[in-house]
Amino acid sequence: MRRIFIAGNWKMHLEGRQAAELARQVARQAEDCPGIDVAVAPVFTAIVPVVEALAGSPVMVAGQNCHWEEKGAFTGEVAAEMLAAAGCRLVIIGHSERRQYFGETDETVGRKLQAALRAGLLPIVCLGESLEQRDAGQTLDVVGRQLEAVLAVFPSEQASRLTIAYEPVWAIGTGRTATAGQAQEVHTFIRQRLADKFGPDPAGQVRIQYGGSVKPGNAAELLSQPDIDGALVGGASLQADSFGAIMRAAESQGA
């Protein structure tokens, strides 16, 4: 069975001391959820304090982005190797906010994915459609195109290291959430495309998270779906109690 994976994306919130305190609170909440995997993604400047706060805890630390080069004249960027050296085990790649505001493309997602693998990081690769694309019936076309950039560079023998996060753009930070059925439909599509590329066994090892206004009130229903293997949580991960409630919902599903 795929182990449920709950990750908190803290986005551009919390400086070092605040982030470290929240990390300690999350670690205490995670003690009650030994059957799932948990990660948090602080801002770059808070990575080291958070890693130190989580020492001895199973909670992992992720970077929110990385560059595709190891070093160079790329002002404002951070290499995957630098994240690993700072103590990160994972990195988020291709988040919709990176695509929407900072020019992320399917090509750069593929290059960053390769960089993450070279650095030994576990990638969380985000896919998702806009409201206009969903209303136009283009959801599977868009997600399929974005997924192809992943499949083109990801080796099947490393499938267990890959996490896909399906995040419908229209549900991120809006309070709107895809129904469990809508989410499962897209997750089923992703799983089938993975099977077409990798074969059924490797595809069965890839975890597919759902992201988009995940809250304590909807987590259990979403996580009960057969192809939803976790959640990439935004706003609700900034409070230990709400994030802990989502973790406990996941623990109950994995039990």
Identify the pLDDT of residue 174: 75
Model confidence at 232: pLDDT above 60: yes
Model-level pTM greater than 0.85? yes
- Measured CA to CA in angstroms, residue 86 lies from 45, 52, 90, 121 at distances of 10, 10, 11, 12
Catalytic sites, residue numbers: 95, 167
Q: What is the DSSP string of 17-36?
A: HHHHHHHHHHHHHHTT-TTS
- 25-59, pLDDT tens digit by residue? 999 999 999 999 999 999 999 999 999 999 999 99
Q: What is the pLDDT at residue 221?
A: 96
Domain borders along the chain are 1-62+240-255
pLDDT one-digit tens code per residue, 123-181: 999 999 998 999 999 999 999 999 999 999 999 999 999 999 999 988 877 777 789 99
39 and 8 in contact (C-beta within 8 Å)? yes
pLDDT over 90 (residue 222): yes
Q: How far apart are CA 234 and CA 166, in angstroms?
A: 13
Q: How high does pLDDT run on average in the chain?
A: 95
Say if residues 203 and 159 touch (Cβ distance below 8 Å): yes
CA distance 9 to 78: 17
